[in-house]
Structure 1
């Protein structure tokens, strides 16, 4: 039995595409996933399953479409992947820097590993903005000099440039999810 986290994109934002976490938990239970735990209203669900990894995302997306009538992109990571992500942030140089940086750090989860060519196209924007990012496998570590909502490094930007689905969480959420998965 493996432990996973699913990260849903674009639910409960501005009162649109509303899914209650208790209902989402029930969907996961109905899919046969064990011990689902939700964290905050943005669609983070930790669960256990023996189902093949490449089938999990489609099962969740289909179940949400059937229940709510709208599509929700879903990205999953294993416990091991999330813990590796937590310890691999290139923008945290030392523990003393961590607290100062925390409000500026975000992680964009990608559906697939982007091509080197697409990463190079995305990196062209860094010359024009103060925010920074680094793509490592299926994740984008983001440093925003200001507030994330004013950054050009949005889900839409990464989806367009990297040609894969994307959803972003702030670093405090990443830390809490890793703690819950321990």
Structure 2
């Protein structure tokens, strides 16, 4: 069994809509996953499965269509990938609450950083299927625009680290 997290885009913040933890847990169980649980109320589903990542993603996204009535992306990572995201954080000198991992489906390329606009003190770096952004003064004050992650989802490094710990305990 592989421990996975599925991070649903823009749940309980803006854009996608409300998805209570109980409903997200029910989605995971309906997909046939084991050890199903959530982490904070922002669309993080932790579970174990023998299925391939692509199959896991398809099942979750189909259930999300059923729930929301529209396509909603989920970004799936296994325990090793989440641990790697923490380990490779190039901005460990900043507060983890001010560093965001913007998860995307494809491996990022330098052009994704080059197209960033209104960069005013933020630091950006490529990671494993994610972009790291250190917001320095805090995300609430930023004017940064990152077209490359428009369809991605972000979690701060405190959350990424905690999910990595939880996933490691599931394997």
- Report the TM-score when normalising by structure 1: 0.82
Alignment partner, residue 150 of structure 1: 141
CA distance in 2, matches of 1:113, 1:165: 14
- 3-state SS of paired residue (1:75): strand
CA distance in 2, matches of 1:21, 1:78: 20
Q: Which runs of 5+ in 2 are unaligned?
A: none
Return closer, same or farther for 1:114/1:2 CA change in 2, 3 Å cut-off: same
Alignment partner, residue 148 of structure 2: 161
CA distance in 2, matches of 1:40, 1:88: 23
RMSD: 2.2
Deviation of 1:43 after TM superposition, in Å, equals 0.6
Counterpart contact for 1:105–1:170, Cα < 8 Å: yes
Deviation of 1:14 after TM superposition, in Å, equals 5.4
CA distance in 1, matches of 2:56, 2:96: 31
- 3-state SS of paired residue (2:107): coil
Alignment partner, residue 54 of structure 1: 54
Alignment partner, residue 130 of structure 1: 121
Matched, 1:88 2:79: no
Equivalent of 2:104, from 85, 100, 110?
110
Counterpart contact for 1:111–1:165, Cα < 8 Å: no
Deviations 1:96-121, CA, capped at 9 Å, x for gaps: x4xx6223211111111134444433
Instruction: Compare relative contact order (CA 8 Å, sep 6+) and give the higher one, 1 or 2.
Output: 2
- Report the TM-score when normalising by structure 2: 0.87
CA distance in 2, matches of 1:121, 1:64: 31
Counterpart contact for 1:11–1:72, Cα < 8 Å: no
Greater shift in the superposed pair: 112-121 or 30-39:
112-121
Give the helix-richer structure, 1 or 2. 1
CA distance in 1, matches of 2:14, 2:109: 33
Counterpart contact for 1:65–1:71, Cα < 8 Å: yes
